[in-house]
Amino acid sequence: MYVNGILFLITISRNIQFGSAQAPPDETYKSIYISLHNRIKIYMYYGFAVIHIPGDGQFETMDTSKIGQGITLNIVTNNEHVPEVECYIRTIKDMYNSLPFKKFPNRLLIEIVYAHVFWLNAFPSNNGISNSAVHAKLCLAWIHSKLECGSYVQTHENHSRKM
């Protein structure tokens, strides 16, 4: 997925409906492999086995032996996409497009996408198991729900003329 030219590797599991996003530093295969390995490690950490990865044409030239032992990479045909991932991407982009700003610094944009994925995982899905069993972070309402993403805030801090 691309948001304002920033690449994100988006994953969602079919059975547990747990999604993830990672912004690789570039589009090289090495960065994609590292990002994919990081996503697989998350599932393995929680006791889930990744055995099948459907992907679109960008994954066509990837070497399955470098992804992991026992993992099958299934590439969809040209001009097609994996429906679950495309639906998840649309959901993320809808949230992003609802914000009242036209431009964001790149780092802020990356963190906004991560926050959206965090909140999508915070609530159980109708089709999957409760993501609280998988979610690594404890969602504390008094910390995570103070302000809605995109809210205007005014801070009162002591200022100095130094950079």
**pLDDT exceeds cutoff 70 at 108:** yes
CB 10 within 8 A of CB 25: no
131-to-8, 11, 97, 111 alpha-carbon distances in Å: 21, 15, 25, 20
| Domain at 2-144, CATH from 3.20.20.70, 3.90.1150.10, 3.30.420.10, 3.40.50.11540 | 3.30.420.10
68-100 confidence digits (pLDDT tens):
778 888 877 777 778 888 888 898 888 878 888
**pLDDT exceeds cutoff 80 at 60:** no
113-162 confidence digits (pLDDT tens):
998 888 888 776 676 655 454 544 445 554 556 666 666 667 777 777 77
The model's pTM is: 0.74
What distance in Å separates the CA atoms of residue 64 and residue 72, rounded to the nearest whole number?
7
pLDDT in the model for residue 59:
77
11-37 confidence digits (pLDDT tens):
888 878 888 899 999 888 888 888 888
pLDDT in the model for residue 141:
52
What is the DSSP-derived secondary structure letter of residue 125? -
